[in-house]
Amino acid sequence: MTRRDEIANHLRELIINGTYAPGDILPNQATMKATYDTTSNTISAAVKILRDEGLVWRVATRGLIVQDLRPVHIDLSTATQHSNGRGPWETACHQAGRTGSMQLISVERGPAAPDVACALQLSVGATIVRRNRHALADGQAVMLDTVYYPLALVDGTPVAGSDKVDGGTLAALIAAGVLDPATARVRELVGARASTKDEAETLRLRPGVSILTAERIIRDEDAQPVELLRRVANPRKVRFQTDDLPLRSL
């Protein structure tokens, strides 16, 4: 084992056992050089391992900040608003002991690209609504969503508007009568890939580090696609799950 790995392992252990708690600042490079009796290059290489793992993040004005290791488990099929007024993401964060919020980045109307048109069973160029949003846990973006809707189906609902939809967009579609949860069907595809530069920067990861991906298509009782969700997430901060499904035979 190299000296770099020994130092990274020791720092990781200190983070996991709580010696360095979320929000704490790791000792600066000069202090770590003295503590571990090694060179600046070795310290930098050890810290890079921790950054690649998402355990720490460098803030220019402060230093290396320890990240919260508690993942948020989000059920991809959650469609109804909870009685406490929280949407699915806020509820999932609350259950994990985190403070969660869904930040609306933009709402756009425009022609459907070929891949989106295919997924939504539309003609290429048909008008769609695209909502871009960031899921925050304790103020940090940990998941990025791009959601597409056929304008013809959602026009006149809050989903087609420019404001954040409190309680979640699916709850709004159910309230508007666009979706019936008793008959709607969900298709989900979960995977992983390397992050892009922009994704890594927003999620506080090193470019190229693996991220979780999910695609969800929701269809109404007539098998018409109502929503296409494309989601990427920091794999150390988010877990995708689906609970309490019936066991089906093939």
Taking only the tens place, the pLDDT of each residue in 26-84 is: 999 999 999 999 999 999 999 999 988 778 888 888 899 998 878 888 887 765 545 56
Distance CA 160, CA 118 (A): 20
Distance CA 5, CA 53 (A): 13
Pick the CATH number of 72-241 from 3.40.1440.10, 3.30.1780.10, 3.40.1410.10, 3.30.70.580: 3.40.1410.10
Averaged over 105-109, what is the pLDDT? Answer: 97
Q: Would the CATH topology of 3-66 be identical to that of 72-241?
A: no
**Model pLDDT, residue 58:** 84
Radius of gyration of the chain (CA): 21
More confident residue, 115 or 244: 115
DSSP structural state of residue 206: -
**Model pLDDT, residue 147:** 97
Query: Whole-model pTM above 0.85?
Result: no
3-66 folds as Arc Repressor Mutant, subunit A (1.10.10)
**Model pLDDT, residue 84:** 66
Confidence of residue 236 (pLDDT cuts 50, 70, 90): confident
Domain edges within the chain: 3-66, 72-241
